[in-house]
Structure 1
Amino acid sequence: MAYAEFNNIPNVQTLIDLIVQFAQANGWVVERNTLAGANRTATVRIPGISDYVHLFNTDQLSLRSRISIGYDGNATPALQPLVSPRDISSYELTGPFPRLKLFSNGTAIHVAVAQAVAGEYRHHAFGVLEKAGAYAGGTYVDGTYWARTGGWRGVLIPNGNNVVLFGNNFNGTGCGHVRADSIEDNRINCYHQLCNYFGGSLGVEGQAGSGVGSIYQATTSDSYDSMWLGYVLAGADDNTFSGRSVFQPIHLTVRRPGTTPYLSPIGQVIGLRACYMDRLEPEQEVTIADETWVVFPWLRKLAMNDRTDSPPASGNYGWAVRKS
């Protein structure tokens, strides 16, 4: 495990540079880290373990990522060989950023960005899963895609574009990707959308889920995993040992071909757990045996409501990230 913290980051291009330096210090090879005006493009990987992960910005609102299986140092992220279908984005960023907290756990990097609005955060995650079984792939990227204006319903609007890490969403905008090949299913160089939604046809992309989503989605999804958060996290503070939330692992599954959404596990996100923050505060450190975890809200620890342009909020839903 490794941890670093930075204060008063002025802009997104500096944010990316700090992430890349941190990744390099923790085993990732930097293929490029270039700046053109106010836009930075970086590519990192763990040779022999990960695919290529691209971190870049084209404005001051978004930290973007893609995965590619091949690499061309002269090409943009979108034009890389065997690249994931679309940008994923941690959005809307509001800088300058008072704090940046970076966590490295094995092959996983977690980025927690405190926003200029006090108590509000965005998250960005990339790395390689702790795999379930042997297959080509395991590299993932994801981010918090959440606009600051509009109507809200619970944590996510089921047909909208609001996305938390590994979250449930019907719309591809903002959803991350994980690579997981399956020779038996004729899926080679295959990316699965981290949308947690297994309805409808399989489509061109694969579909991956984790169970992370709102109570609304947890009770209507046809994935057995997606029942997990609404019931488990809401009752996770019923912990008779300490009264604090149980930290729940993030297990990813992919949908297999066929009319029935059969699922196969592909692995677990290292060093990241879902938690309920009713008895916890943002950036609080929690010690469990010889481990230290830091908790953050998915977005902001604030009551959710459906009023248009109400402050972005994710209630008591949160992340716990292992620090040491």
Structure 2
Amino acid sequence: MAYQTGTAATPDQLLDALRVFAVANGWTQLNWAPSGTGQELSLSKGGHYVHLRSAFDERLRSGYSNVTGIFLTASIGWDNAQPWNNQPGIILNTSSQIEVCGLYEVSTSNPYHLFSLSGPDMILLVAEVSPGIYHHLAFGELEKHGVYTGGLFVSGAYGSDGYTYTYSGFTDYVFGYNVDHHAGLPFNDYKYYGQNFIRADVDGFDGWFSVCSNSPRTGKRARALFEAGQNSNNSLGRMWYSRVPNTLNGVSPMLPFYLFVERPDTYFSPFGYTPHLRYLNITHYSPAESFTLGAEQWMAFPAHSKNGKSGVHGYAVRLIP
């Protein structure tokens, strides 16, 4: 694996750091050019294509709020004559509009952490956008259950505005409970519509699944660890959370992010998981703290802000395999 840390003052600088880092770790740069208020970047590796765009106080399209940060999406092909947001098989919603996730609320001084993992490939960017507040974006391939076309994922913040962290209306009541304050956690599916995506060729469909609890943006739904609901029986993540850290020794075991795709009978089948990125209750960890488990070394981050909007929900990324 490779690891790099630094500080960026603008979304352009943050995206450029990711670009140089990704290319140095085996990704091919397909495009790097001015675009709107920022830069657009397209990368490929192993038949996977991801597209990123920095922005300053700009919105992606109608339906999105203005943001300062980085948009992230993906496609199933590359056309050199087309911009980042019009690539073959790009992530579209049921109204044929582009969908993205990303890293938002970038400020004038953003310490960042970049990780590159292999077997399977993954790039993770985590930025401290304000003191104690961490946002992420990630892309790469899942460890697959079975053999199929696809496996690419893109993960980041759920939306482009503040209500994703604070709204507690009827359909988003999950934020009303302290146990559920895990804004920004990779692959959260408690969000009603979802804006993390995985590609799969399943049941004759070759395209993008929205990781969400209901009403998938792409028309196809995938699930992960967390979901809405007022009792732990509805969510693997809730049951896991209630049992960590271990009350006997204070250790907090990690749990890979498992992904499941919906089948025509409405049941879900195991699809894959993230071996290098795992859920972690960070009660006993500080943000960006590294720790050792046997021969492995990991680094912990809060889903948003420790004991803030994400409580002690967090994740860990592999530093030394």
TM tier relative to shorter chain: 0.7 to 0.9
1:280 aligned onto 2:263: no
Residues 91, 109 of structure 1: CA spacing in aligned structure 2 closer, same or farther, 3 A cutoff?
Answer: closer
Which residue in 1 is equivalent to 2:29? 30
Stretches of structure 2 lacking an aligned partner (at least 5 in a row): 58-67, 93-97, 176-182
Q: Which structure has the highest strand share of the two?
A: 2
Provide TM-score, normalisation by structure 2: 0.83
Residues 171, 50 of structure 1: CA spacing in aligned structure 2 closer, same or farther, 3 A cutoff?
Answer: farther
1:236 alignment partner, SS class = coil
State the number of aligned residues.
Answer: 293
Q: 1:218: how far off?
A: 6.5
Q: 1:16: how far off?
A: 0.9
Which residue in 2 is equivalent to 1:90? 102
Identify which of 105, 120, 134 aligns with 2:133. 120
Residues 22, 138 of structure 1: CA spacing in aligned structure 2 closer, same or farther, 3 A cutoff?
Answer: same
Contact residue 52 and residue 70 of structure 2 kept, 8 A: yes
Looking at structure 2, the residues matched to 297 and 165 of structure 1 have their Cα atoms a distance apart, in angstroms, of 11
Identify which of 143, 162, 165 aligns with 1:130. 143
Residues 317, 245 of structure 1: CA spacing in aligned structure 2 closer, same or farther, 3 A cutoff?
Answer: same
Which residue in 2 is equivalent to 1:308? none
The residue type paired with residue 257 of structure 2 is I
1:224-275 deviation digits (Å, cap 9, x = unpaired): xxx21112123220164x51211111111101012xx311111111310001
Which residue in 2 is equivalent to 1:243? 250
Q: 1:91: how far off?
A: 4.9
Q: How does 1:1-324 map to 2 (within 5 A)?
A: 1-7=1-7, 9-36=8-35, 38-46=37-45, 49-60=46-57, 61-85=68-92, 86-106=98-118, 107-115=121-129, 117-145=130-158, 147-148=161-162, 151-153=166-168, 157=172, 164-172=185-193, 175-182=195-202, 185-188=203-206, 190-195=207-212, 197=213, 199=214, 205-213=219-227, 216=229, 219=232, 221=234, 227-238=235-246, 240=248, 242-258=249-265, 261-303=266-308, 313-324=309-320
Looking at structure 1, the residues matched to 35 and 286 of structure 2 have their Cα atoms a distance apart, in angstroms, of 39
Q: 1:83: how far off?
A: 1.0
Contact residue 254 and residue 266 of structure 1 kept, 8 A: yes
Stretches of structure 1 lacking an aligned partner (at least 5 in a row): 222-226, 304-312
1:57 alignment partner, SS class = strand
Contact residue 53 and residue 72 of structure 2 kept, 8 A: yes
Q: 1:27: how far off?
A: 1.4
Looking at structure 2, the residues matched to 203 and 100 of structure 1 have their Cα atoms a distance apart, in angstroms, of 30
1:155-201 deviation digits (Å, cap 9, x = unpaired): x93589x653201245436x12110002xx2213x110121x2x57x
The residue type paired with residue 186 of structure 1 is G
The residue type paired with residue 53 of structure 2 is F
Looking at structure 1, the residues matched to 74 and 230 of structure 2 have their Cα atoms a distance apart, in angstroms, of 27
Contact residue 210 and residue 218 of structure 2 kept, 8 A: no
Looking at structure 2, the residues matched to 192 and 114 of structure 1 have their Cα atoms a distance apart, in angstroms, of 29
Contact residue 70 and residue 103 of structure 2 kept, 8 A: yes
Q: 1:220: how far off?
A: 7.0
Contact residue 121 and residue 299 of structure 1 kept, 8 A: yes
